[in-house]
A = this chain, B = another copy of it.
Amino acid sequence: MATASKKRYWVGFDLGGTKMLATVFDKDFKALGSRRKKTKDFKGSRAGLVGITKTIDDALQDAGISRKQVAGIGIGCPGALDLERGVVVQSPNLGWRNVALKKSLEKIFSCRVALANDVDAGTYGEYRFGAGQGARCLVGIFPGTGIGGACVYEGKIFRGQRSSCMEIGHMHMQPKGGLCGCGRWGCLETVASRLAISEQAAAAAFRGEAPHLYELAGTDLSSIRSRTLATAIKEGDVVIEAIVQHAAKSLGVATASLVNLLAPEVVVLGGGLVEAMPQIYLEQVRKAIHEQAMKPFRTSVRVAVAKLGDNAGVLGAAALVADESHDRR
């Protein structure tokens, strides 16, 4: 089986709304080469596919590996996916609809391709190689523009009846809460996402209560990134810290409910807000779990910050396609 033995490298791909990242791994998941591009340079699904192909080819070149040596490509992708057919049904972040990503890439690269939700891939990466290694039940919570969630249970991503799920950002939190991006009201994202924080932060800047943030970003929601918030806090914007603390507390209350439901061994916190302000998130989530979760669950759960940063997604996606290959061999 000369061909089979040659094909022993895995590609992990993270298809984000802002950037795409491809990394080539050997069989022990050591990174051999990598490439990053801006997603917005490839508009629409046809150009997107070209961009993905080029990014992978560049990463392969960086690693000194040929297409023929690739055993499989795992892709983490945001939005509504048909996992079994490998189709991006709808991804508002990418502006895609009904794109047969798996089939197209299998044709181009002549290898197995696995599609996964981006948060599932990142959480699986943390489970396999990061902050939650070997946990029997791990919950990943990633507050950023939205709030992603995932669960790895007994070594596999929890998929309900057969889809990506764990939509933690859409747990109902506020009976009289604001409008959510999902069209409903009072979801966790309306109180704890970066967008929810930015709304309040921009208003505080507008009212003259956050001079540092105002200098850094004005009152434009689009300019207020997680690092902007962290910097404003460091420079002395007390009100911005209060806003982030308040949001982190709500995230903690939702996490405590999740702990009561799923009794996880580890909760891994990641995403832009946590990376920028890990202490605030660790403290508020631990405090909320201590106050709100039931005793047997709260004493046995560990709360940790994600370890792998941007690499969680590519590592997880590569490991997923490798697992799939081994399962079906």
Contact = CB atoms under 8 A, between A and B. Distances in A.
B296 A170 contact: no
Given A170-B294, A172-B256, A292-B172, A263 B161 contact: yes
Interface stretch (A36-44, A152-160, A233-241, A312-320): A152-160
Interface centre among A149, A158, A162, A257 (most CB of B within 10 A): A257
Interface in A157-196: 158-163, 165-168, 170-172, 174-175, 182, 184
Interface centre among A136, A165, A168, A174 (most CB of B within 10 A): A165
Contact of A261 (B80, B168, B294): B168
Contacts of A162: 136, 263
A265 interface: yes
A297 B161 CA distance: 9
A175 B191 CA distance: 13
A301 B165 CA distance: 13
A123 to B, nearest CB: 14
A277 to B, nearest CB: 23
Contacts of A153: 153, 158, 160
Nearest to A175: B174
A55 to B, nearest CB: 28
A102 B294 CA distance: 25
A159 B262 CA distance: 7
Contacts of A294: 167, 170, 182
Nearest to A288: B172
B300 A260 contact: no
Number of copies: 2
A95 to B, nearest CB: 18
Nearest to A164: B263
B160 A263 contact: yes
Contacts of A171: 257, 260-261
A186 to B, nearest CB: 9
B160 A264 contact: yes
Nearest to A82: B296
Interface in A266-318: 291-292, 294, 296-297, 300-301
A300 B136 CA distance: 28
A296 B135 contact: no
Contacts of A161: 135-137, 263-265, 300-301
B263 A261 contact: no
Interface string A134-150: 01110000000000010
Contacts of A175: 174
Interface centre among A160, A168, A171 (most CB of B within 10 A): A160
B261 A166 contact: yes
Contacts of A253: 172
The 4 residue pairs across chains A and B that have the minimum distance between CB atoms = A160-B263, A165-B263, A161-B265, A167-B260
Interface of A: 80, 135-137, 149, 153, 158-163, 165-168, 170-172, 174-175, 182, 184, 253-254, 256-258, 260-265, 291-292, 294, 296-297, 300-301
Given A167-B260, A172-B253, 7 more contacts: A153-B158, A160-B264, A160-B297, A161-B300, A165-B260, A166-B262, A170-B294
